[in-house]
Copies of this chain bind each other. A is one copy, B any other.
């Protein structure tokens, strides 16, 4: 696999960007063959600057729900851009999109738009505290809610006080949640929960309905707000808030990524119970009211409501899961597949127990070399531009990868990753 152009771009980037790249898309923890830069995207595919094509199982880390460069959604963006985008005030699309979210998401009586997923979770944090003037926020231990000082998973450049009044509980553990509420006492403001447990490296876990219902009941009993952080999973597992299927409606939810198929917009949705509190906080951004991303989101919601994308991505995820299980069984590789099948986290364990990092990374490296953008420790995302044929191609790549694995005893896992995941 030729990586010449990619290496040249990396070298140029090193000169003018700290570490050459930063954030969740930095490839510093990935097998070194993984491209850092991409030249073209269409549907389910990405091309790097060396002419290699990849079926992209990462889907831009979530935003790509219906395929890259989607004709209809991008046309909505471009048409709006020609009339008015960001201006001195919003356009009617602002109202229409809020109405569309209220129509789509059961718990939502209103919407507030922003740009980053972190904006939406930070607004939810502030709304919880504004609700009754209480301070204590319950967060599942290790959960990712963004990269601001209060939540960045690598707390460098932050002070201890940035996380004052947070109480950490164990996801899916009702007793732990109850203990955290008790600890909060009279200062209880609210509970944050991701719709399922989807932290990097660790196996994903479905939400225990008893836990979700306990979270709702505790917020009702102690007059706090329940927040479902749906930035990553929103519209991937339901056409509504991800806890709707459990019969649990939050007071607030945060959204981003897939809601405009990659165009830059995120939002906080809320119930009337939380409306006054949400209206009392001051949050804003220069580009938050721009119309083009709203037009794209309106079109995306229309397709979400009117197409069978959800059933198709779930079915393709199942096809992938079953196919990979077969490949792994044939090759006697102890595969670990967790999470909703359309948001798969795929790693490998040791026969004697524990994660097999060498096999996990070697497999991901082989997949990349065989034309599949495959992540060794982050959940991936099946998108609706994929076809059964693409899934079959991924399985063919997996079979080829399994047959030509390197000697794992001498395989060198990316040393930064090895250090980072030593405890996992």
- A: residues with CB less than 8 A from B are 9, 12-13, 15-19, 21-25, 27, 35-41, 46, 49, 56, 58-64, 68-69, 74, 77-78, 81-92, 94-95, 98-99, 101-102, 109-112, 115-119, 122, 125-130, 135, 147-150, 152-154, 156-159, 161-162, 164-165, 231, 256-257, 262-264, 266, 270, 275-290, 293, 373
Report the separation of the CA atoms of residues A78 and B278 in the bound assembly, to the nearest whole angstrom: 35
* Residue picked from A27, A95, A293, most chain B C-beta under 10 Å: A95
Report the separation of the CA atoms of residues A14 and B88 in the bound assembly, to the nearest whole angstrom: 19
Specify which of B22, B40, B77, B98 is in contact with A283 (CB 8 Å cutoff).
Answer: B22
In the assembled complex, which residues on chain B have CB atoms less than 8 Å from the CB atom of A38? Answer: 84, 87-91
CB distance from A202 to the nearest CB of B (A): 18
In the assembled complex, which residues on chain B have CB atoms less than 8 Å from the CB atom of A74? Answer: 81-82
B22 touches A152 (CB 8 A): no
B157 touches A16 (CB 8 A): no
Report the separation of the CA atoms of residues A125 and B165 in the bound assembly, to the nearest whole angstrom: 21
Q: 5 nearest interchain CB pairs?
A: A23-B284, A126-B157, A18-B279, A130-B157, A161-B164
In the assembled complex, which residues on chain B have CB atoms less than 8 Å from the CB atom of A109? Answer: 16
B280 touches A115 (CB 8 A): no
A25 touches B84 (CB 8 A): no
CB distance from A1 to the nearest CB of B (A): 16
A86 touches B262 (CB 8 A): yes
Specify which of B37, B89, B149 is in contact with A94 (CB 8 Å cutoff).
Answer: B37
Report the separation of the CA atoms of residues A19 and B279 in the bound assembly, to the nearest whole angstrom: 6
